[in-house]
Structure 1
Amino acid sequence: MSFVESEERIALRRAVAEFGAGYGHEYFDAKARSGQKTTELWEEAGKLGYLGVAVPEEYGGGGGGIGDLAAVCEELAAAGCPLLLMVVSPAICATVIARFGTDEQKAKWLPGFADGTLKMAFAITEPDAGSNAHKLKTTVRRDGDEWVLKGAKTYISGVDEADAVLVVAIQRTGPVLVVVPTAAEGLTRHEIDMDLIAPEKQFTLFFDDVRLPSDAVVGSPDQGLQQVFAGLNPERIMGASMATGTARLAVAKAVAYARQRTVWESPIGAHQGISHPLAKVHVEVELARLMTQKAAALYDSGRDRDAGEAANMAKYAAGEAVAAAVDQAIQTHGGNGLTREYGLASMLATSRLSRIAPVSREMILNFVAQNSLKLPRSY
């Protein structure tokens, strides 16, 4: 087993890092604070093929795996441009359609994922279900040649930017995944007022007997449960990658400041009260990166069950690492850490979110306790 990425993956990282540096945190922060979207960044990333690295070649993609897409996500975040919709659109939605979609669905959707001209949101969370996917109430039923969707979803990212939403709904035989155009009649959305500084907005969605064509359900209706898990593992891997990229950026800012900030005729980084905490978070970030790469390698090799365990562990480790890294970076800067000039305070809420979404640290610990350690369930 190799613990070193391939030369192709390393070259991809370098190229994306250089590309992301051309935009940087100041660009991203300015867009987010003004309520604008990072459209230029997304479109150029799509044209360069970075958004489609994991889409099969026959549909215009790079033919790589989730590990390649995760590398792109991480490097953009490390450059100060964490693209949340990368976690959703090319990772979850494109992966599900590529693995389970009909030939017609693949031909319809995958080329747009490959070049970034298509954005698709993902909707599973419901107001009354939370992390309990067994209590989903959004339903879909057959009515002649159509499907009829009814229910609600909440905390759905980027719906105002998306062309469609991949919705997890329930029918008689279990869950199914349904592609719903954002312009569909009967679909309404309400923006959730968040204190996050991010270009992507959060929404509650309402489906009031939304009528959809027969090909709206992805693949076979009896494969819904497999499709959900096929999408959630990439979601956790990508969430971990975005977190470790953000953590790397925070550590880099702190290290640069600790090298140049001089007090009592020596850089503050010479003092162990500064250097040891930074060294500790650096270790934690690198460990989280390694587990994320392991999860991606397992997923790309088709070992879904093992990938599920590793992806959850990676998501946990990355969430803890980024929260600690941003906190320590602010502490290293002292009062400067809370100014806009140094760009750290705006990362605080985002880093904290990594311990909550797309799955909370507590639910990951439940998963590890029950599946890895074979401990009894409490619920």
Structure 2
Amino acid sequence: MTVSFTESEERQELRKAVQALASKYGREYFNAQARSGGKTTDLWLDIAKHGFLGVNVPEEYGGGSGGIGDIAAVCEELAAQGCPLLLMVVSPAICGTIIARYGTEEQKQRWLPGICDGTGTMAFAITEPDAGTNTHNITTTARKDGDGWILNGRKIWISGVDEAENVLVVSRTEDAKTGKLKPCLFVVPTNSPGFEANPIPMELISPEKQFQVFIDDVRLPADALVGDEDGGLMQLFAGLNPERIMAAAFNVGLGRYALDKAVAYAKERAVFKTPIGAHQAIAHPLAQAHIELEMAALMNQKAAALFDAGDEFAAGEAANMAKYAAAEAACHAVDAAIQTHGGNGASQEYGIASLLVATRVGRIAPVSREMILNFVAMHSLGLPKSY
């Protein structure tokens, strides 16, 4: 399959439009909301009003009929303006993609318009306390009960539950055998009896919170099930490959933000007569960060193009590589930016140090760098499986 992964003029215009909108809010707005316990609802609804939030969702359900590359571009440009919205990864990209691909017509009509206009934000719950990266070990179980289902389980590190109307929960049918995962996906309203979400105290400064979720005998109607209960991994990976692509975009955007701040500072700050950016000890790390971010962005464009073209395996390989490269590049960019600022890099005034945790998390979530290396070693290089 021949796939072009250079960006179209239309997507470049989309980037400019998102950049212009997000710049009206910026890092100061984002941090103020985070530190005060507020939310970025104003920005979220503004993105939706301009048609950016559901740009990847089919037009007949309120979206823009674009691809995952388009919503990734939106996510990246928001982060590059200092407003990294984690729910961009979750609601339109993961949940929107899965429902658009596997939902019934009635389900699409019910849930996709709210995802697009920002009034029906949907969270995604897959990670469990005793499973971690090993998705095959999830124990959240769905049991048939008459015409409906009863759901039980625990989830952890679930983003934005307090901002979501529903959560797309990854479960397994009661008779599924451990080690042979046949995931089933349920849309669970956050106000369901038996559904409880407790916030996890975080060092990360963000308006979007993380939660531990308890699901105790939550009763669901038959049409809460999205797709086939025996649909297998294909249904799940329809959301996980976009998740990796969006995570890469999120990290590239954060890296770009940090690098832009460092470059501007290096041009203005003078200690030994000339701006510090004239010294190679400052210039080279910044140049290296720029190169790494550009390479990660290019791999992510490839991953998005392959996904939108329907090449599932190649898209999965490229998405994992892009996520790995973007997380590494973002960490290096933030570190270089802090070093460029010297002591000022640790101050709230310059707003760089708060990115340390945000970018470091990118090496862990939504999939760890070690598991990506395992994937590449086994699937790309043909080495024996190590786990």
Task: Please confirm whether the aligned pair reaches a TM-score higher than 0.5, indicating the same fold.
Answer: yes
Matches within 5 A, 1:129-144: 129-144=131-146
User: Which residue, 229, 250, 254 being the options, matches 1:246?
Assistant: 254
Matches within 5 A, 1:1-379: 2=4, 4-171=6-173, 172-173=175-176, 174-379=182-387
Contact 1:177 1:224 in 2 (8 A): no
* Cα distance in structure 1, aligned partners of 2:61 and 2:268: 49
* Cα distance in structure 1, aligned partners of 2:92 and 2:118: 8
Amino acid at match of 1:227: Q
Amino acid at match of 2:136: H
Which SS does the other structure have where 1:355 is aligned? Answer: coil
Which SS does the other structure have where 2:188 is aligned? Answer: strand
Amino acid at match of 2:35: R
* Cα distance in structure 2, aligned partners of 1:60 and 1:134: 35
Which SS does the other structure have where 2:172 is aligned? Answer: strand
Give me the TM-score of the superposition, normalised by structure 2. Answer: 0.97
Contact 1:176 1:225 in 2 (8 A): no
Gapped regions of structure 2 (runs ≥ 5): 177-181
Question: Any runs of at least 4 consecutive aligned residues in structure 1 with deviations exceeding 2 A, and if so which?
Answer: 1-4
Gapped regions of structure 1 (runs ≥ 5): none
Which SS does the other structure have where 2:363 is aligned? Answer: coil
* Cα distance in structure 2, aligned partners of 1:180 and 1:85: 17
TM-superposed deviation, 1:302: 0.6
* Cα distance in structure 1, aligned partners of 2:233 and 2:109: 23
Match of 2:179 in 1: none
Which SS does the other structure have where 2:13 is aligned? Answer: helix
* Cα distance in structure 1, aligned partners of 2:5 and 2:219: 49
Amino acid at match of 2:189: P
* Cα distance in structure 2, aligned partners of 1:70 and 1:331: 29
TM-superposed deviation, 1:131: 0.5
Q: Equivalent pairs: percent with the same residue?
A: 66
TM-superposed deviation, 1:224: 4.1
User: Which whole-Å deviations, capped at 9, do the CAs of 1:232-271 have from their partners, x for residues lacking one?
Assistant: 0000000000100000000000000000001221000001
Across the aligned residues of Structure 1 and Structure 2, the Cα RMSD in angstroms comes to 0.9
TM-superposed deviation, 1:188: 1.0
TM-superposed deviation, 1:4: 3.1
Contact 1:186 1:208 in 2 (8 A): yes
TM-superposed deviation, 1:219: 2.0
* Cα distance in structure 2, aligned partners of 1:146 and 1:160: 26
* Cα distance in structure 1, aligned partners of 2:94 and 2:340: 37
* Cα distance in structure 1, aligned partners of 2:11 and 2:161: 31
Amino acid at match of 1:164: N
Contact 2:227 2:235 in 1 (8 A): no
* Cα distance in structure 1, aligned partners of 2:73 and 2:26: 17
TM-superposed deviation, 1:3: 5.1
Give me the TM-score of the superposition, normalised by structure 1. Answer: 0.99
* Cα distance in structure 2, aligned partners of 1:116 and 1:105: 17
Amino acid at match of 1:225: L
TM-superposed deviation, 1:112: 1.1
* Cα distance in structure 2, aligned partners of 1:33 and 1:104: 40
Say how many residue pairs are matched: 379
Amino acid at match of 2:294: E
